């Protein structure tokens, strides 16, 4: 537990950006380990996706753009988040997006715990994460593509009845194009989404920016 705290503080403490939740302090008090982050008044994207009305196209674009800027900055500092999902994307009351929870962030390419367990949330994981391969910043780009798809359609691109079905689809199967669910999406947006969701990281964007 203490090692994880130290790891999180090393990762998050390097990051000072408008679209990343700032870490102010890390320490131990009366045997309790703690991290003190900036307080963001608002909600997270997961909460926002559960209520009506749905996000407008303009809102979805603004949110994913800001998240991409925060990720690009983290990546430039050698930090890969590895668990990008709606619950880790905070939306302040003024509409500013801030990425939080760098708790499993890595400064290297290891994606497994010492026990061989996968790190991350399966529905949003890149194929190479699921397969236990080396992971770099392009895994975050895949995960952000999943989030973008969900913002527009309110569905996950890879769905299944259980974890095995979901992970198999992520690794091997295509997703239902967003334009088949939401009519009149700009072609440019669907092209961006498709490139983010490429199975092969070499076919994704080289940078979140």
Q: How far apart are the first and last CA of the chain?
A: 33
Strands 97-99 and 89-92: antiparallel
Phi then psi for residue 19, to 5 deg, are -105, 20
Of 44, 72, 83, 140, catalytic: 83
HEC profile for 10-53?
HHHCCCCCCCECCEEEEEEECCEEEEEECCCCEEEHHHHHCCCC
Among the listed residues 75, 110, 205, 102, the one whose alpha carbon sits nearest the alpha carbon of residue 148: 205
Active site residue 83: yes
Scored b (16 or more CB within 10 A) or e, 47-72 reads ebeeeeeebeeeebbbbbebbbbbbb
How far is 6 from 167, CA to CA, in rounded Å?
30
Residues with a catalytic annotation lie at 83
């Amino acid at each position: 537990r203490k090692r994880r705290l130290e790891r999180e503080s090393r990762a998050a403490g390097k990051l000072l950006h408008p679209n990343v939740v700032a870490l102010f302090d890390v320490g131990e008090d009366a045997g309790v380990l703690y991290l003190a982050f900036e307080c963001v008044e608002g909600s997270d994207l997961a909460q926002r996706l559960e209520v009506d009305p749905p996000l407008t196209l303009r809102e979805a674009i603004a949110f994913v753009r800001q998240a991409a800027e925060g990720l690009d900055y983290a990546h430039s500092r050698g930090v890969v988040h590895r668990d990008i999902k709606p619950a880790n994307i905070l939306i302040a009351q003024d509409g500013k997006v801030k990425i939080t929870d760098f708790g499993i962030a890595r400064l290297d390419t290891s994606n497994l715990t010492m026990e061989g367990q996968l790190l991350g949330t399966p529905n949003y994981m890149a194929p190479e994460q699921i397969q236990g391969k080396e992971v770099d910043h392009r895994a975050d780009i895949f995960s952000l593509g999943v989030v973008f798809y969900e913002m527009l359609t309110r569905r996950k691109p890879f769905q299944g009845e259980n974890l095995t079905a979901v992970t198999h689809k992520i690794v091997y199967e295509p997703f239902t194009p967003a334009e088949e669910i939401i009519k009149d999406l700009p072609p440019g947006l669907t092209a961006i989404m498709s490139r983010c969701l490429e199975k092969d990281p070499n076919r994704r964007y080289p940078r979140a920016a």
